[in-house]
Amino acid sequence: MKLLFIGDIVGRPGRDIVCAEVPRLQAERNIDFIIANAENTAAGAGVTGAICQTLLKTGVDAITLGDHVWDQRGFDHEILDLDCVCRPANLPVACPGRDHLVVEKNGCRLAIFTVLGRSFVGMKAECPFLAADALLKKLNGVANAFFVEAHAEATSEKQALGWFLDGRATAVLGTHTHVTTADCSLLHRKTAFQCDVGMTGSHASVLGREIEPAIARFLDSMPRRCEVATGDVRLSATLVEFDAAGRAQDIERLSLPQSLWNFRVLQPMFPCRMIVYWNPRWSRRNTFIWLRIRTMLRQCPTTVLPNVSILLRAGLSA
Ligand SMILES: [Fe+2]
């Protein structure tokens, strides 16, 4: 079995690359479970119900959140109706939303939950170690694989949590810093571990935000609005392969650049509202052609006008 975990998705650029790349990635890598952290998807802070639904349509099975969970007004009510979304498990019991999810696919039941770290994280949370321990005990027998997201700032806290859960969790993968760490490993008792999966969004940025105002804030300490950056968009994710007993077999770090075929990349080159493209290899798989065209249409910012260009690129790979 394979699970893919997509690191902190930031703003529209992050959402767009998930919509464009996840269906293809799922098919090409034969992935069973796709989990995504969406706490920064709404203009870089928080998430909305509509964004969750968009991500779920791409093939994402479960959405996790972190310390920005309540940044968007009204999400504390919206989360109640979102079956595939869980808030951090170690928030106070009175907080709305599910503290874990169980997703069943291809005969495997995968339990999913997030714990917030307490070092250098602003939000008040219960002990992540005790919370993870309690949930794993509660879910014992309910699921046969366990995914734990360590949403924390300190690498020491995340490493300690990984070793604490070694042999009980299938994977302990970190988020929150937006910077991918090169420490993918299988711990002694077959738990896949990585301190931070990294960010899905603009990498020509400071943690997904525009560079200039971020520098200025450090120079004069004055508050400034830092918009979500748009350059060099990449999807950061980690792929974990595990056996029927929930023991990790392999862990792989992925960093995918935005496809050349993305509408927002092509639009400046072709002055039109819609680009229909076709690859001869797809002629054998009509459904795939239409899937690609539909993906493009979803990204079209306005109604499709008669000004349509047909872009043929024979032999080019998508
Ligand atoms: Fe965070």
Confidence of residue 286 (pLDDT cuts 50, 70, 90): low
Give the model confidence (pLDDT) of 172-229 as tens digits.
Answer: 999 999 999 999 999 999 999 999 999 999 999 999 999 999 999 999 999 888 999 9
Residues near ion ligand 1 (Cβ under 5 Å): 66-67, 176
Q: What is the predicted pLDDT for the residue at 24?
A: 87
In a domain, 93, yes or no: yes
Q: Given a cut of 60, is residue 318 above it in pLDDT?
A: no
Same domain assignment for residues 276 and 236: no
Q: Given a cut of 60, is residue 151 above it in pLDDT?
A: yes
**CA angle, 123 as apex, 120 and 128 as ends, to 5°?**
75
Same domain assignment for residues 219 and 267: no
Same domain assignment for residues 163 and 208: yes
CB atoms within 10 A of CB 239: 18
Q: How far is the CA of 156 from the centre of ligand 1 (A)?
A: 16
Q: How far is the CA of 84 from the centre of ligand 1 (A)?
A: 19
Catalytic residue among 68, 100, 176, 203: 68
Q: Residue 56: which CATH number? A: 3.60.21.10
How much is the average pLDDT of 30-59?
95
Q: How far is the CA of 173 from the centre of ligand 1 (A)?
A: 13
In a domain, 317, yes or no: no
Between CA 249 and CA 311 the distance in angstroms is: 43
Tell me if residue 203 is catalytic.
no
Number of separate domains in the chain? 2
Q: What is the predicted pLDDT for the residue at 280?
A: 45
* Domain end call among 257, 274, 300: 257
> What percentage of the chain exceeds 90 in pLDDT?
74
Residue tagged 């997703």 (tokens): 103
Give the model confidence (pLDDT) of 256-285 as tens digits.
Answer: 987 655 555 555 555 555 555 444 444 555
Q: Given a cut of 50, is residue 303 above it in pLDDT?
A: no
How much is the average pLDDT of 288-308?
51
In a domain, 289, yes or no: yes
Q: How far is the CA of 152 from the centre of ligand 1 (A)?
A: 7
In a domain, 318, yes or no: no
Between CA 248 and CA 170 the distance in angstroms is: 6
Closest CA to 208 of 13, 2, 1: 13
In a domain, 49, yes or no: yes
Q: What is the predicted pLDDT for the residue at 305?
A: 38
Range of the structural domain that residue 273 is part of: 263-312
Q: What is the predicted pLDDT for the residue at 282?
A: 47
Q: What is the predicted pLDDT for the residue at 78?
A: 96
Higher local confidence (pLDDT), 238 or 269? 238
- Give just the sign of the alpha carbon dihedral 218, 13, 43, 273: positive
Answering whether pTM is above 0.85, one says: no
